[in-house]
Structure 1
């Protein structure tokens, strides 16, 4: 089966006066269409660099990256992105923050003015899906951190991306809100069916959400283990207290501890 995301022998060095930083070395990773993958590893292992490479924000020094059979040679239009900081524009209302990608990404940009009413209805429907029905006319500063992150997810999905890239999207939230948003993301993914790459330090988050967890080595980052997660879906949050779930988290933590010392 042809991979939807195919990363082969990718290496990256950030150039600098002190010889640069060798971020990734010979990284291989592949995902099938609709797969939910999590990438974990010690701090500084190149997880965020991987995100930039896959979305075309950086070119690799060596190797190749293909998405849906097409080589990545620049910013990837079919990708949506969400980060630890929601990065909402404070002077724009919530619904206008959600609509922002449609003003930038073709083919939506060319028809945005003519079809703005339809797009606004789509944005309101998406906000309702994440529990923000009626909040479209608020400003970001009127929302809690968890609500702002829900808006960020809607903005990342409004242009119907085939690939969603998530870089520590829930790390700044309290534990209860974080788990609540795991379930929001779980439900969105199961409803829409996009492909996901989630970069996270939270091993419980990775185990709850992912089909496969990819463990990276210390810098320069390379793939050292892939762990399939076979719990049936949809997964209830109570799964996090199951002994089998806890065993996976402990095994991942042990592996990361091992590669940190290597």
Structure 2
């Protein structure tokens, strides 16, 4: 059996309680959580609110360290921020004073080895950014500012920023939750096409079960807090997937199955 690209092995994470005002007492976000994602796989993580989905994302990217257990990416234990990861969130978080293309280029100014050669190779990097923007339908918008774009266009730019340094791992935390249904489905297809063309590994955290079923190879269902993986479901619909698959009986059955499993863990 091949080594997983991302692995959580019996991971527990407890946040220490506050001293002084506010809520006190330790909070265990994850307890005995195990997860395995293969290289190039598209994995989705779903579960009830507050179950630790975003905490899991922070562990994989090295933003927090586990209280117990082991987190590994590409065969190496995670001991700090993972440089081979790109991240996108529900809020695009584009800097309003920078143009779209300068927002996309921002990781290259920060992440090595790009940082040390950014100034000398800025022309080539800018061309890469323009090509990536064109791929997501933002060709010609590089010199605009974020406030001149719609929410969906800003999220496209955010995806480009997450991918500009060609990460091997893309972590997505509810990236389309704030968008209307039509824009959301359009961006599902944008992400599908980018993933199929480039071949990076994806972990998508989402509350949208249709989104998980449409995009993912594997769906992991988490329990209520303290979170752990209670069900792992392979998605067997053939690729490439068209949005029409969302109306097929098998797809509807899968979404109902996942919803029922989440209802069970919420009640447990």
Q: Does 2:194 correspond to 1:193?
A: no
Counterparts of residues 1-262 of structure 1 (less than 5 Å)? 1-17=2-18, 18-262=24-268
Partner SS for 1:53: helix
- Distance, in Å, in 2 between the alignment partners of 1:96 and 1:20 is 41
CA-to-partner distance for each residue in 1:41-99, whole Å, 9 max, x for gaps?
00000000001010000000001111111110000000000000000000000000000
CA-to-partner distance for each residue in 1:184-221, whole Å, 9 max, x for gaps?
00000000000000000000000000000000000000
- Distance, in Å, in 1 between the alignment partners of 2:73 and 2:60 is 8
Q: How many residues align?
A: 262
For normalisation by structure 2, the TM-score amounts to 0.97
Q: CA deviation at 1:20?
A: 1.8
Q: CA deviation at 1:16?
A: 1.1
- Distance, in Å, in 2 between the alignment partners of 1:41 and 1:76 is 25
For normalisation by structure 1, the TM-score amounts to 0.99
Q: CA deviation at 1:19?
A: 1.3
- Distance, in Å, in 2 between the alignment partners of 1:14 and 1:250 is 33
| Displaced runs of 4 or more, over 4 A | none
- Distance, in Å, in 2 between the alignment partners of 1:21 and 1:86 is 29
- Distance, in Å, in 2 between the alignment partners of 1:241 and 1:249 is 11
- Distance, in Å, in 2 between the alignment partners of 1:257 and 1:71 is 34
Partner SS for 1:19: coil
Partner SS for 2:63: coil
Partner SS for 2:32: strand
- Distance, in Å, in 2 between the alignment partners of 1:67 and 1:58 is 14
- Distance, in Å, in 1 between the alignment partners of 2:17 and 2:75 is 33
- Distance, in Å, in 2 between the alignment partners of 1:246 and 1:39 is 18
